[in-house]
Every structure is written in structure tokens, then in C-alpha cells.
């Protein structure tokens, strides 16, 4: 019944495309048009809600971490330039796995940003904090 893996661009998920006529949600055989994917509207919305809820939960989780990181960097760097160390950041609850983008200088130094708040790792677990100028 499932014969090919498709990627849904708008929902950013993979799903199995039913080549036979079975409902994506409940698996019931569908009678009618060849392009029908669901037996009725309730199966369609149940399927779509499941996908949306999973994606929304992930987006919410990541946004929350990024916002917290930004708040921590802002609190430690009110003047736009500051130095801090790893344990200070960790104690505040900073999550080093999440950032919005990086910037690598010609010298090969990589700054990590959470929105406009950024940091450059220095030696011995020290960090140089910067704020990106918006243009
Ligand atoms: Zn169904």
C-alpha cells in the first residue's frame, strides 16, 4: 500500500505516498477520484493537525531556546561589547547548541549569533560578546 516516500515542502515532513487508494489517515480503502488522499474531511483535518502540531511544537521549543539565549547575551552585554566565561553562561542557562547564524571573519574567527546578540569563543572558555548592527 505504501510505495514511495515523498517530501512535503510546505510542512517540511516526509510522508509515504499511497499509490493505492487508501486513506492517509485511517487506511480505509477510498472509493472515488484517483487523486483523493482521505476518505473524508475529518480524516484530512486529523492528518493535517497531527503534522502541524508536531512541527509547531518543535518550532516553539527552538524559538524558546533562542529567545532565552538572546536574553542572556543581552543581560551580560548591555553596552554592546563585553567578556564573559563559559560557566557564567552555563549558570544562566545558555544553550550552546542553538544559534541563528554565524559570521566568519577574514581571519577565520567565527562569531555565533542569537538574532543580533553574538559571541566569539576565546581561549580558556572565555567569550567575547558583541551586538550586530542592523542595517
Ligand atoms: Zn480515513
pLDDT in tens, 97-133: 999 999 999 999 999 999 999 999 999 999 999 999 7
Give the tens place of pLDDT for each residue, 48-60: 999 999 889 999 9
**How far is ligand 1, taken at its centre, from the CA of residue 43, in Å?**
5
Give percent of the chain above pLDDT 70: 81
How many angstroms separate the alpha carbon of residue 24 from the centre of ligand 1?
A: 7
Query: How confident is residue 11, by pLDDT bands cut at 50, 70 and 90?
Result: low
CA of 16 to the centre of ligand 1 (A): 15
Calculate how far, in angstroms, residue 55's C-alpha sits from the geometric centre of ligand 1. Answer: 22
Residue 85 sits at the vertex; the CA angle it makes with 108 and 93, to the nearest 5 degrees, is 110
Distance (Å) from CA 5 to ligand 1 centroid: 19
pTM: 0.69
Residue 95 or 38, more confident = 95
pLDDT higher than 90, residue 12: no
Cα 70 off chain centre by: 15
Ligand 1 centroid distance, CA of 21 (Å): 11
Confidence band (pLDDT; 50, 70, 90) for 1?
Answer: very low
* Residue 35 and residue 18 in contact, taking contact as beta carbons nearer than 8 Å: no
CA trace torsion 79, 61, 44, 16 (10° rounding): 110
- Which pLDDT score is estimated for 9? 61
Amino acid at each position: 500500500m505504501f510505495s514511495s516516500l515523498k517530501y512535503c515542502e510546505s510542512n517540511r515532513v516526509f510522508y509515504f505516498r499511497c499509490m493505492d487508494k487508501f486513506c492517509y489517515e485511517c487506511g480505509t480503502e477510498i472509493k472515488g477520484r484517483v487523486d483523493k488522499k482521505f476518505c473524508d474531511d475529518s480524516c484530512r483535518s486529523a492528518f493535517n493537525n497531527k503534522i502541524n502540531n508536531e512541527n509547531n511544537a518543535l518550532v516553539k521549543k527552538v524559538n524558546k531556546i533562542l529567545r532565552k539565549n538572546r536574553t542572556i547575551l543581552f543581560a551580560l552585554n548591555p553596552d554592546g561589547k563585553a567578556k564573559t566565561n563559559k560557566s557564567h553562561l552555563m549558570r544562566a542557562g545558555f544553550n550552546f547548541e542553538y544559534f541563528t547564524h554565524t559570521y566568519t571573519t577574514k581571519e577565520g574567527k567565527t562569531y555565533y549569533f542569537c538574532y543580533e546578540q553574538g559571541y566569539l569563543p576565546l581561549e580558556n572558555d572565555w567569550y567575547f560578546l558583541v551586538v550586530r548592527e542592523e542595517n
